[in-house]
Amino acid sequence: MARNARAGVAFAWVVALVGVASVAACGDEPSVDPQPLPDAAVDRDDSPTFCADGKPTVAWPPGPYEIALESTLPPDLTWASPEGAVDIESYFEPCAPRSRLLVIRVGAPWCGTCLWHASHTQRLLSEPKLAERVVLLDLVLADEDNMPPTLATAARWRERIDAPGKVAIDAQYTFGPAVGSREVLPLYLYVDTRTMRLRTLDGDPSPQTFASKALGELAELDGEPRPAAIKPALYDGLLTENQWDLVREMKLVAAPPPDPTNAYGDLPAAAALGKKLFSDAQLSPSGTVSCATCHDAAKAFGDGLAQSVGLAKVDRNAPSIALASHARWQFWDGRADTLWMQALGPPENAKEMGSSRLFVAHQIEARYAAEYDAIFAAKYPRPDLSALPAEGKPGDATYDALPSETRDAITRVYVNVGKAIAAFERSIRVQPNALDRYAGGDTSALDDEERHGLSVFMRVGCAQCHWGPRLTNDAFHALRFATGRQDGAADRGRIDVLATLSAAEFVATSKWSDARASAKPLTFPSAPSMLGAFKTPTLRGVSRSAPYGHGGTLATLLDVSTHYGRRAELVPASQAAGVVEPWSPEFDGHAQGGITALLSILEADLP
């Protein structure tokens, strides 16, 4: 009975916290992390002890066990780590002279806010009392792509963390039940090691909020009054230290990372040829469709349509490709692992350009021979196509009947066309926008509504996924944006790509790659969480790339923020596959207004 009453109080507590957070979003006050809770909120003086005469009286505190605030954690929690199993039991120290605080931090390497915390662990523990009495256990939920984590993921995550501590994998999101959907990753859970009770939790705290909470808990455990809360230092009266660091890292980066799989990627002559090919409708036998049909420089290299139209209407929205050369994966479902592989899809797609590699090779011979030869002929002399049919691609009987050397020679021309187009795309630069000026230190670059929007963006957790210079993590998430499929079925997204990608003709590990050995492996474990998952798009250019989402079903930026604010509740199951991820944000109407204002300034204009 008594326990239930306690649980009731603890729950009221969470609600009160959330209430504080959303009121702050509505008022004129700058956003500040929720203050540490008042001492009186929960009576903790009844903490039992499990030590007598210097010896433990139990192997583990008695139940009932629950993964919930104010509850004793179950003894059977265990996670795999590169150094062997990590058991929660090993943290129980009933006879320690003073309680320590086990801080379990839950995050993932796809998550921008988590990256900040991982690489600022020393900063967070800089209070001597915390360095001495906090034991940190990092749990990693997923890998860089948001796939299930492996021991290798944990080992890489360990490298990121600038202080010693254990890192284990937790694909099950053990502490999800204690959190609900409101906290932003990384999640901090504070456990008393003498009782193994989960005392409190927090998401993405500022260094000051973290210190206040941890010092407050330790003081209570020592039977002392909680010290006064440390006020977070705010940049521009608005952003906590961790938030401001992430904003600074959003500054535009000019050049894309090198792509060793495309030896021509940074050759000006290849970019010049690629630029012509990009807008050449003659590469399509219809003479009507080029890449530029759907990727118009004036529309952030999108087309302004819900679903693109080539020779026929396709099922998805054309993303802005101005900065696609910086991305790890191409397409909403990541079914190409390089930019040149991506460029080899649309020409042979019946709905897009309806062309074929043999048709493209003939066009190169007829109209671009000199330019092509200047770049490629030294290594790949152009084949003689005179005796060959006008069109042909794998699957066509006449093409498949050609000798394999002939098919390879045709395909080589086609691949080089893809590499030239990729070289052009790699040469695209966009101008800095108002956010870049703000990130560079000009606080007047944003007006009040936009500043408010930026603070909401950081606080509700958009920067978990939209971070870095392109405001994307290049990972795959299920957020239930509605389908754009012509047949009305839900789009299954990433999950269908996982089983087939490694065998795809033009992947970076194929013989067409200029650096097969440097290519990342493409075999994946099964990952049911990838049902309905799509790549986080860049937000640079969203001011001009309406409509939005993989299906193009959200007409305006306000519609996008409404979708988020209501956690996709308006989208029926028939229109979207998968389960909304628990770390997707939820917020009120005022927050929504600010977010829309912020998104509206994210231009990606050409110089």
For residue 330, count CB atoms less than 10 angstroms from its CB and return exposed for 0-12, middle for 13-18, buried for 19 or more: buried
Pick the binder of ligand HEC from 31, 113, 240, 342 (CB under 6 A): 342
Q: Kindly state whether residue 600 participates in binding ligand HEC, applying the rule CB under 6 A.
A: no
Options 247, 385, 542, 571; binder of ligand HEC; rule CB under 6 A? 542
Distance CA(345)–CA(349), nearest Å, equals 6
- Residue of 393, 483, 548, 571 interacting with ligand HEC (CB under 6 A): 548
Instruction: Give residues with Cβ within 8 angstroms of 84, minimum separation 6.
Output: none
Query: Which of residues 232 and 541 has its CB atom nearest to ligand HEC in the complex?
Result: 541
CA separation, residue 196 to residues 73, 225, 274, 540 (Å): 6, 21, 62, 45
Distance separating alpha carbons of residues 108 and 584, to the nearest angstrom: 14
Give 216 or 354: the residue with its C-beta nearer to ligand HEC.
354
Q: Tell me which of 105, 197, 466, 544 binds ligand HEC, using CB under 6 A.
A: 466
CA–CA dist 438, 581 (Å, integer): 31
Q: Which residue has the tokens 């690489």?
A: 119
Distance CA 469, CA 445 (A): 17
* Token pair in block for residue 276: 């012509």
Contact status: 584 vs ligand HEC (CB under 6 A): yes
CB of 460 to ligand HEC, least distance (A): 5
Encoded one letter per residue, x for contact with ligand HEC by CB under 6 A and - for no contact, window 347-366 reads x----xx-------------
By CB under 6 A, the residues from 270 to 289 that bind ligand HEC are 289
**Cα dist from 544 to 245, 298, 565, whole Å:** 27, 9, 22
d(CA 285, CA 283): 6
String marking each residue 563-582 x if it binds ligand HEC according to CB under 6 A: -x----------------x-
For residue 603, how many C-alpha atoms fall within 13 Å in the half-sphere facing its CB? 10
Cβ closest to ligand HEC, residue 61 vs residue 302: 302
Please state, in angstroms and rounded to a whole number, the distance separating the CA atoms of residues 484 and 476: 18
Q: Which span (37-45, 168-176, 217-225, 327-335) binds ligand HEC, by CB under 6 A?
A: 327-335
| The one among 141, 191, 196, 479 contacting ligand HEC by CB under 6 A | 479
Other C-beta atoms closer than 10 Å to the C-beta of 504 total: 16
CB of 308 to ligand HEC, least distance (A): 4
The distance of closest approach from Cβ of residue 445 to ligand HEC in the complex, given in angstroms and rounded to an integer, is 19
- Residue 503 tokens read as 């065998």
Closest contact distance (angstroms) between CB of 176 and ligand HEC is 14
- Cβ distance 569 to 483 under 8 Å? no
C-beta of 103 vs 321, nearer to ligand HEC: 321
Min dist CB 89 to ligand HEC, Å, is 33
- Does residue 464 touch ligand HEC according to CB under 6 A? yes
CA-based Rg of the chain, rounded to a whole angstrom? 27
Segment interacting with ligand HEC, rule: CB under 6 A, options 26-34, 116-124, 395-403, 473-481:
473-481
Q: Tell me whether residue 10 or residue 423 sits nearer to ligand HEC (CB atom).
A: 423
Q: Which residue stretch of 80-88, 93-101, 235-243, 308-316 sits at the interface with ligand HEC (rule: CB under 6 A)?
A: 308-316
State the number of binding residues for ligand HEC (CB under 6 A). 54
Question: Which of 107, 205, 207, 319 is close enough to bind ligand HEC by CB under 6 A?
Answer: 319
Q: Which of 113, 407, 583, 597 binds ligand HEC (CB under 6 A)?
A: 583
Q: Which residue lies nearer to ligand HEC by CB, 273 or 421?
A: 421
Peptide bond preceding 186 in cis form (omega within 30 of 0):
yes
Tell me which residue of 61, 39, 365 sits closest to 217, measured CA to CA: 39
For tokens 């754009």, name the residue: 484
585 binds ligand HEC per the rule CB under 6 A: yes
Minimum distance of ligand HEC from residue 296's CB (angstroms): 10
482 lies in the site for ligand HEC, by CB under 6 A: no
Q: Tell me the CA distances in angstroms from 480 to 268, 298, 553, 576, 593, one per residue in order.
A: 41, 29, 11, 5, 22
Nearer to ligand HEC, 322 or 385 (CB): 322
**The binder of ligand HEC chosen from 81, 99, 561, 600 (CB under 6 A):** 561
Q: Does 461 bind ligand HEC (CB under 6 A)?
A: yes
- Compute the distance between CA of residue 195 and CA of residue 357 in angstroms, rounded to an integer: 68
Nearer to ligand HEC, 60 or 332 (CB): 332
Cβ distance to ligand HEC smaller for residue 70 or 170 = 170
| Binding to ligand HEC in span 408-437, by CB under 6 A | 421
Which token pair is 72? 């004793």
Nearer to ligand HEC, 359 or 583 (CB): 583
Token pair 């098919």: residue: 407
**Measured at the alpha carbon of residue 593, what is the angle toward residues 592 and 598, in degrees to the nearest 5?**
95
Burial class (CB in 10 A: 0-12, 13-18, 19+), 59: exposed
Phi-psi region of 300 (alpha: psi -120 to 50; beta: other; left: phi over 0): left
Nearest-angstrom CA–CA distance, 534 and 146:
11
Minimum CB–partner distance for residue 564 and ligand HEC (Å): 4
Query: CB neighbours of 232 closer than 8 A, spacing ≥ 6?
Result: 32, 33, 206, 207, 208, 209, 240, 241
Shortest CB 396 distance to ligand HEC, Å: 20
Span between the terminal Cα atoms of the chain, in Å: 68
Residues 335, 317: Cα–Cα separation, whole Å: 15
How far does CA 384 lie from the centroid of its chain? 46
**Segment interacting with ligand HEC, rule: CB under 6 A, options 217-225, 227-235, 338-346, 495-503:** 338-346
Nearest CB to ligand HEC, comparing residues 124 and 479: 479
Q: Should residue 465 be labelled a site residue for ligand HEC when binding is judged by CB under 6 A?
A: yes
State the nearest-atom distance from the C-beta of 130 to ligand HEC, in Å. 29
Q: Kindly state the smallest distance separating residue 390's Cβ from ligand HEC, in Å.
A: 19
Tokens 């196509």 sit on residue: 385
* Nearest approach, Cβ of residue 337 and ligand HEC (Å): 11
**Looking at 92, 190, 414, 481, which residue binds ligand HEC (CB under 6 A)?**
481
Binding site for ligand HEC (CB under 6 A): 289, 291, 293-295, 308, 310, 314, 316, 318-319, 321, 324, 327, 330-332, 339, 342-343, 346-347, 352-353, 421, 457, 460-462, 464-466, 477, 479, 481, 534, 536-537, 539, 542, 545, 548-550, 557, 560-561, 564, 581, 583-585, 595, 599
